[in-house]
Amino acid sequence: YAAKRKLSGALRYDESLDSASALTLSLLTELRRAVEHDELRLYLQPKVPLHGQGGLAAEALVRWQHPRRGLVPPMEFIPFAEQTGFVRQLTLWMFEETARLLADPRTAAMPLRISVNLSTRDLLDPELHTRLGAILARHGVQASAFCLEITESAIMDDPLRAEAMLNRLSEQGFKLSIDDFGTGYSSLAYLKRLPVDELKIDKSFVMGMESGEDDAMIVRSTIDLAHNLGLTVVAEGVENLAILDRLRALSCDEAQGYHISRPLGAEDFLVWQARQLTASSA
């Protein structure tokens, strides 16, 4: 009963609870069809360095180009995909599209690193590293061209298994990032053990920096913490120049947000990147 309530809420449908399982079934059918009919889209949101030169980077974000509903944002189907386990297929699809883009002659010459989001379900798949390795081999790209983003809550679901998988992925050459940092319940002592390269400050804190001193203090402490642990720190949700300047003054390493660019379709992203390269070499 509770699960159905949660599900119908996540889908933002108003149907009665009785029809929730019918909905589940039809959405799962629709999602499977979405993959077969090529309705998923890879979007990319640029990440920029705040101090001097850094490589080009972006985060891969999924969209669903639905025949009737239009472009559906991930929050309307990712929670559902996680509940049903379908997210594992979705992750492999995103990873493969990203590998394809990295192998594209237009990006092959750029020092580009792309972050892909993993879910709990992915981390608990004992074959995850093998599956990702096969995709890398198929497209001839290096693991080091990828960063894998994992939330604290995905790790804390089964910390021992998560740690074992993160160790394997790190040995394989993937960079690892803790996403939405500050919103979960992981302990610092535990995080310190993980082979992580980056902390990503959740956008709720970044967006709140201007209005609330609490959020500004959390952002400042997270930047210091990351640096004390030898990690790179990224702020997501940077919506204006004032926040960008403030993050730079706090020595945050990288920023991502609407002020820099919205998530872009792959073709628009390539145009954006080419323009950045021209601007920085001019």
Residues that bind ligand C2E (CB under 6 A): 45, 61-62, 73-75, 78, 87, 91, 94, 117, 119, 149, 179-180, 203, 236-239, 256-258, 263
Instruction: Return the number of the residue (73 or 212) whose C-beta is nearest ligand C2E.
Output: 73
Residues 49-68 contacting Mg ion, CB under 5 A: none
Q: Is 38 left (phi over 0), alpha (psi -120 to 50) or beta?
A: left
Which option in Mg ion, ligand C2E, none does residue 152 bind, with CB closer than 5 to 8 A by kind?
none
119 binds, among Mg ion, ligand C2E, none (CB under 5 to 8 A by kind): ligand C2E
Residues of span 217-246 touching Mg ion by CB under 5 A: 236
**Ramachandran angles phi, psi of 104, nearest 5°:** -65, 135
Binding mask 130-169 for Mg ion (x = CB under 5 A): -------------------x--------------------
CB 151 → Mg ion: shortest distance, Å? Answer: 8
**How many residues contact Mg ion, by CB under 5 A?**
5
Looking at the Cβ atoms of 85 and 193, the one nearer to ligand C2E is 85
CB of 256 to ligand C2E, least distance (A): 6
Residue nearest to ligand C2E (CB): 257
Would you count residue 256 as binding Mg ion (CB under 5 A)? no
Contact residues for 152 (Cβ-Cβ < 8 A; gap 6+): 178, 180, 181, 183, 184, 185, 186, 191
Residue selected from 125, 180, 198, 253 as contacting Mg ion according to rule CB under 5 A = 180
What does 87 bind: Mg ion, ligand C2E, none (CB cut-off 5 to 8 Å by kind)? ligand C2E
The residue among 33 and 262 lying less far from ligand C2E, judged by its C-beta, is 262
Which of the choices ligand C2E, Mg ion, none does residue 253 contact, using the CB cut-off of 5 to 8 A by kind?
none
Q: What is the DSSP string of the chain?
A: -HHHHHHHHHHT----GGGHHHHHHHHHHHHHHHHHTT-EEEEEEEEEESSS---EEEEEEEEEEETTTEEE-GGGTHHHHHHHTTHHHHHHHHHHHHHHHHHSHHHHTS-EEEEEE--HHHHT-TTHHHHHHHHHHHHT--GGGEEEEEEHHHHHTSHHHHHHHHHHHHHHT-EEEEEEETSS---HHHHHHS---EEEE-HHHHHHTTT-HHHHHHHHHHHHHHHHTT-EEEEE---SHHHHHHHHHTT--EEESTTT---EEHHHHHHHHHHHHHHHH-
Least CB distance to Mg ion at residue 260 (A): 15
Among 91, 107, 117, 222, binds Mg ion (CB under 5 A): 117
Asked if 215 is part of the footprint of Mg ion (rule: CB under 5 A), the reply reads no
Among 96, 97, 125, 179, binds Mg ion (CB under 5 A): 179
Closest distance to ligand C2E from the beta carbon of 22 (Å)? 25
Rule CB under 5 A: which residues touch Mg ion?
Answer: 117, 149, 179-180, 236
